[in-house]
A and B are shown apart, each in its own frame.
Chain A
Amino acid sequence: MSFEIIASGSFNNTSLEANGQVLASAAEGCSPKEFLREVYKDMSIDYVKFHKMDLLCKIGVVLSDALIRELSLDQKEALEEMAVVLNNSTSSLHSDVKHQASVEEGQSSPAIFVYTLPNIVVGEICIKHKIYGENLFLVSDAPATELLSDYAASLFATGKAKQCMVGWVDALDDKWSASLAIIQEGSTENSINSLEGIFSEAQGVLNN
């Protein structure tokens, strides 16, 4: 079973890349917050809901936008049925800690609580691009490349999806590490190896 990668990219505290091109890089001394704000502006994302999102969702939305922009018109037409299969190490701990603190203060807020699930980033990406396809969010210490790859291949084999956005989106405090690919059914040999290449720099942000 094989597939081909039609777009890929990464986003961390120092740079945003898509299909091998650097779209943005952090200037020296630039804080993570400032860098994210600059990327949002430079990319002309212009999406009101963005400002309500937690860090995990913002990172996922920026990188998925960058990848989707790389698709051809034909490829974009298939977005409606695209599967979105994501993975990270910290689940939604970034927002969990904030919600826990607000609960302890007796001030819990729905605006934080709704982000205390890791799959919300999948939802935000689906809402922004009108994607009605299969969803899955996995949690593991390091990218579960083999499982992601096997599952994506099974989605193609069973006809559940023709395209799949697959990858790693991890964020905690002011650190993030994301690597995503959009893949489709195809004949590339060694698909897993090529995904491994894409995910090689993705890492869990908890212990780094």
Chain B
Amino acid sequence: MGRSVTFIGAENIISPLGTTAEENYSKVLAGQSGIQEGRFLDRDGDLMPASTFPEKQSIHKLLKSCIEGSLAGLNREEFDNGRTLFILSSTKGDIEKLKDRDLPAASLQQLADQMGELVGAGKSITVSQACISGVLAMIMAHDLVVAGKYDSVLVAGSDLVSEFVHAGFHSLFAISGKPCRPYDKDRNGVSLGEAAASVVISKNASTFKSEPLDFLGGTSSNDANHISGPSRTGEGLVRSVTKTLKNSGLTSADIDFINAHGTATTFNDEMESIAFDRMEMNTTPLISLKGYFGHTLGAAGIIETAISLQSLRTNSVPVNIGYTEEGTSKTLNIVTDTLEKPLKRFLKTASGFGGCNASCIIQQHEL
């Protein structure tokens, strides 16, 4: 199959680091992390590091502000043509409602419908595919635009730091007592984060006020191995990246940098090193952004892609914060000094519970 191109842009991020994609990116480039020690009090009375807002957030308000920022970057007469879709990417939605056992209010679709209305989308849907939700939602958007079903899709993701998620990861011994350190020898688990991020994928470059980037789409693959443990061979990730490169008519040598998943758990980061080694991508500059935003679950794929869109726009790649010493069995080229050079394209990957893996490629406009 030949390469299919859509346009991606109007990226926005609201995180503890800032309220626009540009502000978040400048903080990231300056080496500032949203993760702070002692932000989340768990049931054992321990204060754990996390990337959280100073005030408790409503996921509705957070998503709304984020989406409004993306809409402001669009030529609305182009976008509002009645052929738009809204996709929410979230694992837990309005999780606080679970405490009251208010299941309808906790349902993801209710949140998606409210946000879809704000966007003026003809239809709205939720992608809920664990930690690959964001990447998968963008891939789905691309495929539906290429198939001619929609002209533009606004994809927005958000999850909040909650006792629910914290206790769950804690029971798996997957929460780090110190800010997370992706790929490092001393990594010891995730730091949770909360944020919202949004992007627009469109068939027309003229939908965007500033120049968009080219989205080549992507693929997903299951490890068919374990529901909560990463594959020991990186099988699903290898299969997904191989398919994504092939469908784009590219090889691993065409990738300037990899924005990988890097949760900072022992097994995830090890799995990724094995997968990238199998694909001979050990020398490709690689970063995880979890050290800046924590693991933002349903928002992660979008927030991290939005940051790398800023990288393409500014020809710079931030360092993988938290990394000092090699800690995986296969060598990776972790970015430890800010890269400043002309960048053509990047590969975004994600892996999640349920054995799922996804990858996609984004490049400079009209390469």
Residues of A within 8 A of B (CB): 1, 84, 89-91, 93, 96-97, 99-100, 103-104, 106, 108-110, 113-114, 116-120, 122-124, 126-127, 129-141, 144, 147, 150-151, 153-155, 157-160, 172, 206-207
B61 on interface, CB distance cutoff 8 Å: no
Report chain A residues within 8 Å CB of B132. 135
B228 touches A114 (CB 8 A): yes
One of A103, A110, A137, A154 near B129 (C-beta < 8 A): A137
B1 touches A158 (CB 8 A): yes
| Separation of A134 and B222 alpha carbons in the complex (Å) | 7
Report chain A residues within 8 Å CB of B223. 126, 132
A139 touches B108 (CB 8 A): yes
**What distance in Å separates the Cβ of A47 from its nearest Cβ neighbour in chain B?**
14
| Separation of A91 and B147 alpha carbons in the complex (Å) | 27
A97 touches B98 (CB 8 A): yes
| Separation of A91 and B90 alpha carbons in the complex (Å) | 11
A116 touches B168 (CB 8 A): yes
Contacts A91-B108, A158-B4; is A100 near B123 (CB within 8 Å)? no
One of A117, A132, A147, A154 near B353 (C-beta < 8 A): A117
One of A100, A116, A151 near B99 (C-beta < 8 A): A100
> What are 13 A-B interface contacts by the 8 Å CB criterion?
A96-B164, A117-B128, A120-B227, A133-B221, A138-B128, A139-B128, A141-B109, A144-B125, A147-B123, A147-B144, A154-B143, A154-B144, A206-B104
Question: 11 extra interchain contacts, Cβ-Cβ under 8 A, other than A96-B98, A139-B127?
Answer: A91-B108, A110-B171, A119-B353, A127-B227, A134-B219, A136-B140, A139-B107, A139-B109, A147-B144, A154-B149, A158-B4
Contacts A99-B168, A159-B1, A206-B104; is A132 near B236 (CB within 8 Å)? yes
A157 touches B147 (CB 8 A): yes
One of A109, A117, A158 near B91 (C-beta < 8 A): A117
| Separation of A110 and B109 alpha carbons in the complex (Å) | 26
Residue of B nearest to A159 (CB): B1
| Separation of A136 and B356 alpha carbons in the complex (Å) | 9
Report chain A residues within 8 Å CB of B352. 117, 119
Among B149, B224, B247, max chain A CB count under 10 A is at: B224
Contacts A90-B107, A136-B127, A157-B147; is A108 near B98 (CB within 8 Å)? no
B224 touches A109 (CB 8 A): no
B147 touches A150 (CB 8 A): yes
B279 on interface, CB distance cutoff 8 Å: no
Report chain A residues within 8 Å CB of B104. 206-207
**What distance in Å separates the Cβ of B4 from its nearest Cβ neighbour in chain A?**
7
Q: 0/1 per residue, B67-106, Cβ < 8 Å to A?
A: 0000000000000000000000001110000110101101
Contacts A132-B239, A137-B127, A159-B247; is A206 near B107 (CB within 8 Å)? yes
One of A97, A123, A139 near B227 (C-beta < 8 A): A123
| Separation of A97 and B147 alpha carbons in the complex (Å) | 38
One of B128, B136, B172, B354 near A123 (C-beta < 8 A): B354
B243 on interface, CB distance cutoff 8 Å: yes
Report chain B residues within 8 Å CB of A103. 43, 163-164, 167-168
Residue of B nearest to A148 (CB): B125
Contacts A114-B228, A119-B356, A127-B226; is A90 near B220 (CB within 8 Å)? no
Residue of A nearest to B172 (CB): A110
B199 on interface, CB distance cutoff 8 Å: no
| Separation of A138 and B140 alpha carbons in the complex (Å) | 11
Residue of B nearest to A82 (CB): B222
4 shortest interchain CB distances as A-B pairs: A123-B354, A113-B168, A126-B222, A139-B126
**What distance in Å separates the Cβ of B113 from its nearest Cβ neighbour in chain A?**
8
B156 on interface, CB distance cutoff 8 Å: no
**What distance in Å separates the Cβ of A199 from its nearest Cβ neighbour in chain B?**
15
**What distance in Å separates the Cβ of A151 from its nearest Cβ neighbour in chain B?**
6
A123 touches B125 (CB 8 A): no
One of A132, A137, A144 near B235 (C-beta < 8 A): A132
One of A1, A130, A137 near B147 (C-beta < 8 A): A1
Report chain B residues within 8 Å CB of A84. 222
Contacts A132-B235, A140-B109, A150-B147; is A114 near B125 (CB within 8 Å)? no
Residue of B nearest to A52 (CB): B227
Residue of B nearest to A126 (CB): B222
| Separation of A126 and B98 alpha carbons in the complex (Å) | 29
A134 touches B226 (CB 8 A): no
| Separation of A124 and B223 alpha carbons in the complex (Å) | 11
| Separation of A127 and B167 alpha carbons in the complex (Å) | 26
| Separation of A117 and B126 alpha carbons in the complex (Å) | 13
Among B91, B130, B219, B247, max chain A CB count under 10 A is at: B130
| Separation of A106 and B46 alpha carbons in the complex (Å) | 13
B222 touches A131 (CB 8 A): yes
Among B106, B227, B243, max chain A CB count under 10 A is at: B227
